[in-house]
Chain A
């Protein structure tokens, strides 16, 4: 890869959001909600010439139509980037379309059912408490760096059967794929190669010595014709679980804690009425949905009256759909006892997040254990909250002070 390809091209600042949107612009990263409102008021589908041409559905209805329409919209590319190189590595089922999608997805579903998550829950509870033990005496911490980041890393490592202490490596790869990779193809490809080499080692170890973990389960799985999966298929699935399972949940837990840090009324209510936890978690998922997906237009069609043409990508913003006031009353308010909540944080249609039960369990346990040990906390005025850029949104620095405000 030449240096010129690896250079990070700067994007000019956005001045016209409706005709020139950019989800990597610092204004979007900092606070996307007013931008989505502006775009939604303009049109159910907007377009930008950036990223070699990209649409964005702005309403719940338009997002849903595209998510359900696998004929005109392909999942072969699922990140909106500056470049659109030839596809060399796939990660079934997230990059699969019908008919390949269903059998690939069914292989991954059984290990992620709610019952399977109940077995993992005690380990996650212990992880949370081990992390809190490390900083509670300090009276403050950067919760993104010391707490929310490590919970999904250690949980997924535990499930896969790989060392929990390799977590920093996973986080580096994910940052390279999901953030740097939007503008820097060389870095993305290198990260994918490194991940593949790492997992190939673990696969080879298990060929001689099978173990009771998800890697072994995948290696023993049979495809729809009864044949074992190829190493490439297993590698792709493992890369997917690592990339999709970590900074997504890191972000969701972080945004929830950020909300509770700046909203004492919700925090106090959740401590006093822990039975509200399930609806509060769903509301945090709706209001601060971390994951924006993508599709590639493969056939011309119309979405909510807007023509959509091949050659363009689609920024499939489930987070923006979840703020649509025609579907969610008081969409911009966080209502922790919201009764009706059909949010799309985990996607809609066949690509529903395979790890949604894992994410919900991790979020619930992480917030419960935090509130038990640190019921009073607030944003540290001496620090600054920073947010990740692009595909997954959540706090990457979350400085908090413990105890009641003095």
Chain B
């Protein structure tokens, strides 16, 4: 099972703790205010699945969704 995950950052919940970007910079970008957005269309490249879940479980605002497609 690889390449089948998608991530999404809820912009209403994100408060810019930037934990996801620190843990998985390949998957999460920060804007000029330091708020997070999923990189590109949010598809998680093969091999980075653990990082997606790690980012999710370290978000203090529960703003990250990991969707299994």
- Do B57 and A340 touch across chains, with their CB atoms under 8 A apart? yes
Decide yes or no: A106 and B18 within 8 Å by CB, A340-B57, A348-B60 being known contacts. no
Q: Which B residues from 5 to 46 make CB contacts under 8 A with A?
A: 15-18, 21-23, 30, 32-34
Q: Chain B contacts of A113 at CB under 8 A?
A: 18, 30, 32-34
Contact A114 B17 (CB under 8 A): no
Which chain B positions have C-beta within 8 A of A115? 30
B37 to chain A, nearest CB (A): 13
Considering the complex, which residues of chain A in the window 178-202 have a beta carbon less than 8 Å from any beta carbon of chain B? none
Residues of chain B contacted by A352 (CB below 8 angstroms): 15-17, 60
Check B30 against A114 for contact (C-beta < 8 Å): yes
Residues of A within 8 A of B59 (CB): 342
CB distance from A3 to the nearest CB of B (A): 44
Nearest CB in chain A: distance from B55 CB, A: 11
CB closest chain-B residue, reference A343:
B60
Q: Does A229 contact B (CB under 8 A)?
A: no
Per the CB 8 Å criterion, the residue count for chain A at the interface is: 22
A350 touching B15 in the complex, CB below 8 Å, given contacts A106-B33, A342-B58, A342-B59: yes
When the two chains form the complex, which single residue of B34, B57, B58 contacts A109, counting CB atoms closer than 8 Å? B34
The contact of B21 among A106, A114, A339, by CB within 8 Å, is A114
Interface size class of B (residues with CB under 8 A): 10 to 19
Closest-CB distance, B59 to chain A (whole angstroms): 7
Asked if B34 contacts A114 (CB within 8 A), the reply is yes
| Contact B33 A341, beta carbon cutoff 8 Å | no
Residues of A close to B67: CB separation below 8 A? none
Q: Between A and B, how many residue pairs show CB distances below 8 Å?
A: 51
Contact status B18-A114, CB under 8 Å: yes
- Asked if B33 and A109 sit within 8 Å, CB to CB, the answer is yes
User: Is the CB–CB distance between B58 and A340 below 8 Å?
Assistant: yes
Within 8 A of B (CB), among A231-288: 278, 282
Q: Nearest chain-B residue to A109 (Cβ)? A: B33
For the complex, what is the distance from the CA of A114 to the CA of B33, rounded to whole Å? 10
Give the residues in chain B near A339, CB-CB below 8 Å. 54, 57
Within residues 310 to 349 of chain A, which ones have a CB less than 8 A from any CB in chain B? 339-344, 346, 348-349
- Residues on the B chain within 8 Å of A51, using CB: none
Write out, one digit per residue, whether chain B residues 46-66 have a CB within 8 A of any chain A CB (1) or not (0): 000000001001111110000
Contact partners of A109 in chain B: CB under 8 A = 16, 32-34
Task: List chain A residues, Cβ under 8 A from B16.
Answer: 109, 352
CB-CB under 8 A from A357, the residues of chain B are: 18, 34
In the complex, the answer to whether B22 meets A342 with C-beta atoms within 8 Å is: no
Please give, as numbers and ranges, the residues of chain A lying within 8 Å of B21 by CB-CB distance.
114
Given known A-B contacts A339-B54, A356-B18, A357-B18, A110 and B60 have beta carbons under 8 A apart: no
With known contacts A114-B18, A350-B15, A342–B30 Cβ distance under 8 A: no
Taken together as a complex, chains A and B put the C-alpha atoms of A106 and B21 apart, in Å, by 19
Residues of B within 8 A of A348 (CB): 15, 60-61
Chain B residues with CB under 8 A of A340? 57-58
Query: Residue A112 at the B interface, CB < 8 A?
Result: yes
Of A114, A282, A342, A349, the residue contacting B15 (CB under 8 A) is A349
Q: Which residues of A contact B60 (CB under 8 A)?
A: 342-344, 346, 348, 352
- Chain A 104-136 interface 0/1 with B at a Cβ cutoff of 8 Å (1 = within): 001001101111000000000000000000000
User: Are A114 and B22 in touch, CB under 8 angstroms?
Assistant: yes
Interchain CB contact under 8 A, A278 and B34 = no
Q: What residues of chain B lie closer than 8 Å to A110, measured between beta carbons? A: 32-34
Instruction: Name which residue of chain B comes closest to A353, CB basis.
Output: B17
In the assembly, what is the distance between CA of A350 and CA of B59, in Å?
14
Residues of A within 8 A of B18 (CB): 113-114, 356-357
Known: A278-B22, A352-B15, A356-B17. A112 touches B34 (CB 8 A): yes
B21 shortest CB reach to chain A, Å: 7
Q: Quote the shortest CB–CB distance from B61 to chain A (angstroms).
A: 7
Complex alpha-carbon distance, A357 and B18, angstroms = 8
A344 CA to B15 CA, complexed, in Å? 12
Top 10 A-B pairs ranked by shortest CB distance?
A352-B15, A109-B33, A113-B34, A340-B57, A342-B60, A110-B32, A109-B34, A114-B18, A341-B58, A344-B60
8 contacts between A and B (CB under 8 A): A109-B34, A113-B18, A114-B18, A114-B30, A342-B60, A352-B15, A352-B16, A352-B60
Residues of chain A having any CB pair with chain B under 8 Å = 106, 109-110, 112-115, 278, 282, 339-344, 346, 348-350, 352, 356-357
